[in-house]
């Protein structure tokens, strides 16, 4: 969840269930700053919140969730608000809060089921399931303690019916998956696909098929969007009908690449050797880029063997005595060898004086010698003059 989309009381609830203490006078910004790193940690470590049910009082939670449902439904009466990510985040927060309400023999389970139905309909309003693609993997929901089945068949959004616990779980699973996927995409895909500056015309003066696919893959990873979203945006780049992104890639390769393209690619890879002055990092990066052009990805072991086969002898000789596990391991070892060679060269060059230093040393010796000779002549002359003066006085 995006901590910036939650209100003050919603932030307090998230802090409370995690057992985190906070001052009563804290501002919303301070609460978000306190909770933000926790959300990130839970998301990337896939940690679920374990809530002690004794911390939550049944009736107060029922009343709070009812008030929250009324508030959100009022704001969603305006259709413009339904596409705002803030309401999607708040709806997810509400659904998880309802699921944590303790239900026992003394509590009215039907009241909780009514709240779950209302929350499900709110989620359907802000993010219809019809946009969900069951074949596309979704990120795990962060900080949610419920274990729900994933990729269930879509249900009709907005349908208000009395649902059982299992029925609600099935429906909420699909809604959560679709909602999280859309929220994650909208968070990272700030630049529209039509503004990427990548296009393919198939003409001789345009971008080649291989370059186009490579550039498009880079943009997709940088924007962190799914293949489904990329296919939806492909209308700005293509006019042909395709059923999936993989199908689109296959058609481009079939139509615009030579029939013997992969054979030519194999020849290029085998002939590609590391240059005499080429850094291992650049050589390995170039080889990996060539590997990415195959329609069938090469195994990590195949890539490693092909890279090592064409290394310079300075690297290949010592590496033949070591068990190299992966391309990353090879990169690290080559970097160490490169540093060793640089250090050896520096030490060897410092063992004797350079031409400049020798010349400077000789000049200093010559100057000192001349000064010494001048001083000696001056001293002898001065002594002789003194002796002559003494002799004259005596006579």
Phi, psi of 23 (to 5 degrees): -75, 145
Element (H, E) at 360: helix 355-394
Six-digit token pair at 27?
A: 């501002």
Element (H, E) at 390: helix 355-394
Average pLDDT over residues 363-378: 58
As a whole number of angstroms, the distance between CA 68 and CA 70 comes to 5
Whole-structure pTM value: 0.35
**pLDDT at residue number 311:** 92
What are the sequence ranges of the domains in the chain?
3-188, 193-256, 283-349, 356-395
For the chain, state the CA radius of gyration: 38
Residue 23, Cβ density class (10 Å: 0-12 exposed, 13-18 middle, ≥19 buried): exposed
As a whole number of angstroms, the distance between CA 113 and CA 147 comes to 17
Q: Identify each DSSP E strand in the chain by its residue range.
A: none
Give DSSP secondary structure letters for 50-105. ---GGGS-HHHHHHHHHHHHHHHHHHTTSGGGGG-HHHHHHHHHHHHHHHTS---S
SS3 letters across 304-345? HHHHHHCCCHHHHHHHCCCCCCCHHHHHHHHHHHHHHHHHHH
Contact 129, 155 (CB under 8 A): yes
Tell whether the model's pLDDT for residue 300 goes beyond 50. Answer: yes
As a whole number of angstroms, the distance between CA 354 and CA 351 comes to 9
Which of these, 148, 142, 143, 149, lies nearest to 180 by C-alpha position? 142
Tens-digit pLDDT profile for residues 84-112: 778 888 888 888 888 888 877 666 778 88
CB atoms within 10 A of CB 94: 22
Q: DSSP state, 245? A: H
SS3 letters across 85-100? HHHHHHHHHHHHHHHC
Average pLDDT over residues 316-333: 88
Alpha helices of 189-241 — where are they, by DSSP H?
A: 209-223, 227-233
Between 178 and 188, the more confident residue is: 178
User: 182 pLDDT band (50/70/90 cuts)?
Assistant: low
**pLDDT at residue number 139:** 41
Between helix 85-99 and helix 58-75 the angle, nearest 10°, is: 160
Tell whether the model's pLDDT for residue 38 goes beyond 60. Answer: yes
Least confident piece of the model among 26-40, 51-65, 126-140, 271-285 = 126-140
């Amino acid at each position: 969840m995006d901590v910036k989309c939650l209100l003050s009381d919603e932030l307090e609830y998230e802090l409370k269930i995690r057992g985190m203490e906070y001052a009563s006078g804290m501002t919303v910004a301070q609460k978000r700053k306190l909770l933000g790193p926790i959300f990130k940690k839970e998301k990337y470590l896939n940690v679920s919140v374990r809530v002690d049910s004794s911390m939550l009082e049944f009736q107060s939670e029922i009343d709070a969730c009812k008030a929250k449902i009324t508030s959100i439904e009022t704001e969603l009466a305006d259709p413009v608000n339904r596409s705002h990510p803030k309401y999607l985040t708040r709806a997810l927060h509400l659904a998880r809060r309802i699921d944590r309400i303790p239900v026992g023999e003394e509590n009215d389970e039907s009241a909780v089921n009514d709240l779950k139905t209302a929350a499900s309909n709110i989620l359907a309003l802000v993010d219809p399931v019809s946009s969900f693609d069951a074949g596309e993997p979704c990120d795990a929901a962060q900080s949610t303690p419920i274990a729900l089945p994933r990729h269930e068949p879509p249900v009709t959004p907005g349908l208000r019916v009395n649902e059982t616990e299992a029925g609600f779980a099935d429906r909420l699973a699909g809604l959560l998956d679709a909602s999280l996927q859309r929220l994650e995409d909208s968070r990272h895909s700030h630049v529209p696909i039509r503004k990427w500056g990548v296009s393919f015309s198939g003409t001789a003066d345009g971008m080649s098929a291989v370059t186009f696919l490579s550039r498009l893959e880079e943009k997709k990873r940088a924007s962190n969007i799914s293949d489904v979203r990329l296919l939806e945006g492909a209308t700005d780049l293509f006019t042909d009908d395709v059923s999936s992104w993989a199908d689109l890639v296959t058609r481009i390769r079939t139509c615009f690449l030579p029939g013997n393209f992969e054979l030519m690619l194999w020849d290029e890879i085998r002939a590609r050797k590391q240059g005499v002055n080429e850094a291992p990092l650049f050589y390995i990066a170039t080889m990996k880029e060539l590997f990415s052009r195959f329609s069938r990805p090469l195994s990590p072991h195949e890539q490693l063997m092909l890279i090592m086969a064409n290394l310079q002898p300075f690297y290949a000789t010592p590496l033949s005595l070591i068990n190299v596990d992966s391309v990353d391991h090879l990169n690290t070892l080559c970097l160490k060898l490169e540093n060793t060679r640089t250090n050896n060269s520096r030490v060897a060059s410092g063992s004797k004086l350079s031409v400049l230093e020798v010349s400077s040393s000789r000049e200093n010796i010559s100057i000192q010698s001349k000064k010494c000779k001048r001083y000696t002549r001056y001293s002898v002359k001065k002594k002789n003059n003194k002796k002559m003066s003494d002799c004259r006085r005596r006579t």
